[in-house]
Amino acid sequence: MTIESEKIVDQVMKDINVVPVVHHHEFILPHDFSDLVVPPKLHITDFVHDVDDEQFTPIHELLLLSQVFLNIGVDAELRLNRAKCSSPLAPALYIFGDSLSDSGNNNFLQTLAKVNYTPYGIDFPDGPTGRFTNGKTFVDFISQFLGLPFVPPYMGLSVAQKNNTITGMNYASGSAGILRETGTALGKNLGLGEQVELFKETVNNYLPKNFKTKDELLQYLSKSIFIVHIGSNDYINNYLLPAPYNSSHLYNPEQFAGILLKELKQHLQELYNLGARKFLVVNLPSIGCARGTIGCVNPISQMMSLYNKGFPSVLQDLSTTLQGSTFVQGDIDAFSLDLGQNAFKYGFTNLLPCCTEILQCLPNIPPCLDRTRHIFWDGVHPTQQVNLLFANGCFNNSTLCTPINVQQLALKQ
């Protein structure tokens, strides 16, 4: 670590009231944090209140320290990234997706897929906002890493606010999918096609007011980052529900995956035609393998794997045919498989949801206290800690996001 980085780490340690002791150790964090050397040892008693001294073994200490340092390290790297540049790494972040990225759009829609109540947002600075987790989403962390503010939900902005917002907008909608009909049994949502239409409205009606010429607007859009993270609901809130949806009666799994990929490709090309050039597009997680399943062979995961198998070729074809474009593939499939089968190495000790055994948390029911030890927040969505891990791996490394990471995408000329 550089001297500047060490100073930032020291400041972060002070912020969370970490007290160094005489003995110093260096711990190399696992997986995506292998290049981050952690500074001095901590007082274990500052973090542990439910384990007797005689029960507390060196293994307990190592696991606890790795979890604490995980938070310290990522926060320090975030501060370091922002300190290195006086301006954001990208002028704006535009987000298209489902409940994994929704920052409050569904609050303004008639739908059952709505979480603008506690305990959702218990760890978010503004409390409940409509985010489907306890704190920050994957895209929240990406925006922070880029040096941008949290991206506001499009549906929550007034016309005046839309005219003045140039750091990005979030069009993601809980229960939405690539297909327009996906998730509509729960009520209104913004499918991917509608999200692209809203972005077109943004480009045509609101953004031009902030630029002198069309060329300046196009230059701004070419440097902005576009995240597309959607598709799971096309299975869990469409194809796998034969009563309200007829897709499984019309298409076999191979055909359905092909339809989704064709539709995705079309919408990505539409974004390109509107000025987008830098894309992060995320594949589908292994939903059937989510809770620590070893081996992970089941009908749902096999079905969704058909989509993931065809996914890279779609992005490669677009990269080849769309001049000046760059497509980064986010591999949440590999991440979710590794997380489900090796939760312990990431510091997760509880595979049960933090707030409920059903799909959504019940209003005003207190959640678990050890939220950093849980993979799942509710019956479907990950905790803030999982979002942080995926965001950091995608931003700083080229294993979860390929062929380049998000930081490299932002800096690419």
Query: Residue 94 has which token pair?
Result: 């535009």
Distance CA 119, CA 130 (A): 11
Distance CA 175, CA 191 (A): 9
Q: Is 191 left (phi over 0), alpha (psi -120 to 50) or beta?
A: beta
Distance CA 395, CA 408 (A): 8
Distance CA 407, CA 202 (A): 25
Place of tokens 């409509």: 130
Beta bridge partners of 27: none
Q: 3-class DSSP state for residue 404?
A: coil
Place of tokens 């009231």: 17
Q: 3-class DSSP state for residue 169?
A: coil
Q: 3-class DSSP state for residue 187?
A: strand
Q: Quickly list H helices, 351-413.
A: 384-396, 406-411
Instruction: Note if 378 is an active site residue.
Output: yes
Strand 278-282 relative to strand 225-229, pairing:
parallel
Catalytic position from the list 5, 66, 99, 101: 99
Distance CA 253, CA 250 (A): 10
Residue 374 sits at the vertex; the CA angle it makes with 49 and 47, to the nearest 5 degrees, is 20
What residues contact 184, with CB distance under 8 A and at least 6 apart?
A: 175
> Is residue 332 within 8 Å of 285, Cβ to Cβ?
yes
Check residue 26 and report its DSSP letter: -
* SS3 labels along 277-340: CEEEEECCCCHHHCCCCCCCCCHHHHHHHHHHHHHHHHHHHHHHHCCCCEEEEECHHHHHHHHH
234 sits in which H/E element: helix 233-234
Instruction: Note if 381 is an active site residue.
Output: yes
Burial class (CB in 10 A: 0-12, 13-18, 19+), 85: exposed
Catalytic position from the list 75, 102, 331, 378: 378
Strand 326-330 relative to strand 401-402, pairing:
antiparallel
**Which positions are catalytic?**
99, 378, 381
